[in-house]
Amino acid sequence: MSSVYLDHNATTSLDSHVLEAMLPWMKAQAGNPTSRHIFGRTARTAIEHARAQVAEACGAYTSQVVFTASGTEANNFAVRGMTANQDAAQILYSAIEHPCVSRPAAALKQYGYKSQSIAVNGQGRLETAHLALLLEKPANLVSVMLANNETGVIQDIAQIAEQVRRSGSLMHTDAVQGLGKLALSFTDLNVHAMTVSSHKINGPQGAAALILDKRVDIQPLLYGGGQERGLRSGTENVAAIIGFGMACELAAANQSNFASHTRALRDAFEQGLRSLDAQIFSDQVARIPNTSFFAVNGIEGETLVTALDRKGFAVASGSACSSDSTEPSHVLLAMGVGHDLARGAVRVSFGSHNTLQQVSGLLDALKSEVLRLRQLTGVTA
Ligand code: PLP
C-alpha cells in the first residue's frame, strides 16, 4: 500500500525541475564560488541568479538576501544578530513562535536580555494591546511569525510592524510557512528582517535565507572567509542554493494555483470533519490555505496519527520540528485550549499533488478509526 503524504508543513518532496537544476552542480566539477577561475566564476554567477529568484519570490531586492542553511539558522541569526549591537533590553516574540525563535531569545538571558512572549487570542491572533503594553519599555527586537506552522493562522504583520517601528524597535517575521502559500512581499510587510526556507516549497534541505534590510546593524552569524557580505561565512552549498532559487521561481509562479487547489481540499476535509464532532482550531480567522488543525474529543492526537499512518495517511500531531516532546502543543495552550483537547491535536497539511479522492479516503479512515478508538476507550461523542 502506498501512503498518502499530508504533512507538507513539515517538509515537501523535491520538485523534478528543481532536481534538474541542481544535478549539474552535483555531477560535474563545480568551483568554489570565491575562486577567481572559470569554475568559481560560474558558480558565483549561478548563486547570484538564485539570489535574484529568491528575492523576486519574496518581494525583496537581491541585495537583501542572505543565504543560510536552514530556517532555524536564519531565525537564530535574526534573534542574536539583530540584538547583539544594542544595549540589552527585552526581546519580544509571539507566544506561538517556532522554538527556533523563542529558544535563542531565551538563551540571551545570560547576556542580560529579557525574553518575553506576546499573548495571542483564542483564535491564535496576536493581542496587539498586549504588544503595546510591552512596548512601553524599550525592546531590542520583536519577532512575530507570518503564518503559524500548526494552525496556519496568518498575522497582520504590516500593521504589527508599524506598531513596532513607532516604538523604535526592530521587527522580524518568520515567513517559513508563508512562502509559496501567500503572495509574499518583504517590502509591503515593512519588517526589518524575514526568514524563508527552501524545503517547505519543494526545494532541497540545506538552503534558506534571511531577507534583511541592509540598514540594520546586525552582528555576523559566522566569521571566516566573508561570504554573504561577511554576515555568514562558509563555502556556499551551491547545489542547494541553486535548487532553492528554482523552487522559489516555481512557488511564486504557482502560488495562486496552490492556494485555490489546497483551499478546495481543506474546505472539503473540514466539512467532513464537522460531521465527526471534531473541533477545528482557528477556523474563524485567516489561515494559509493548505492547513487544518483539529482534535477529536477524547482521542489522543498521537494515537490517531499512528492509526492513520497504518491506514496509509501520513499526518502530524503538531509541529514536526518539536515532536521530541510529548507535551501538548504550546500554540494551542497559548490560545487557551485546555490540555485534554490540545493533546488530541492533529494537523493535516495539503500539497499541490493531493486530490479530493485522497481527502475522502482520509475522511473514511478517520471515521472508522474514531469509531474503533471510541469503542476501545469507551468514550462517546
Ligand atoms: N519556522 C517555522 C514556522 C517552521 O515551520 C519551521 C520548520 O518547520 C522552521 C521555522 C524551521 O525551518 P527549517 O526546517 O528550515 O530549519
Tens digits of per-residue pLDDT, 37-76? Answer: 999 999 999 999 999 999 999 999 999 999 999 999 999 9
**278 in helix, strand or coil?**
strand
Half-sphere exposure of 198 (CA within 13 A, CB side): 30
Q: Domains of the chain (ranges plus CATH)? A: 4-12+255-377 (3.90.1150.10), 16-250 (3.40.640.10)
Catalytic residues: 321
Half-sphere exposure of 76 (CA within 13 A, CB side): 15
Cell of 276: 465527526
pLDDT for the residue 297: 87
CA distance 113 to 273: 44
Ligand 1: centre distance to CA 112 (Å): 27
Task: Give me the residues of the chain with pLDDT under 50, please.
Answer: 319-323
Q: To test the ligand 1 pocket, which listed residue (200, 210, 287) has its Cβ within 8 A of the most ligand atoms?
A: 200
Q: Which atom of ligand 1 is nearest to the CA of 70?
A: 15
Q: Which atom of ligand 1 is nearest to the CA of 149?
A: 5
- Whether the CB of 177 sits within 6 Å of ligand 1: yes
Residue carrying the nine cell digits 512581499:
185
- Whether the CB of 161 sits within 6 Å of ligand 1: no
Contact indicator for 80, 105 with CB cutoff of 8 Å: no
Contact indicator for 184, 175 with CB cutoff of 8 Å: yes
pLDDT for the residue 81: 98
- Whether the CB of 197 sits within 6 Å of ligand 1: yes
Residue carrying the nine cell digits 538552503:
207
- Whether the CB of 172 sits within 6 Å of ligand 1: no
Q: To test the ligand 1 pocket, which listed residue (100, 145, 194, 195) has its Cβ within 8 A of the most ligand atoms?
A: 100
Ligand 1: centre distance to CA 137 (Å): 30
Cell of 33: 564560488
Q: 163-184: buried (b, 16+ CB within 10 Å) or exposed (e) per residue?
A: bbeebebbbbbbbbbbbbbbeb
Quick count: other Cβ atoms within 10 Å of Cβ 297? 16
Tens digits of per-residue pLDDT, 159-215? Answer: 999 999 999 999 999 999 999 999 999 999 999 999 999 999 999 999 999 999 999
Q: Which atom of ligand 1 is nearest to the CA of 75?
A: 10
Orientation angle between helical segments 301-310 and 356-377, nearest 10 degrees = 120
Residue carrying the nine cell digits 483539529:
294
Burial of 67 (0-12, 13-18, 19+ CB in 10 A): buried
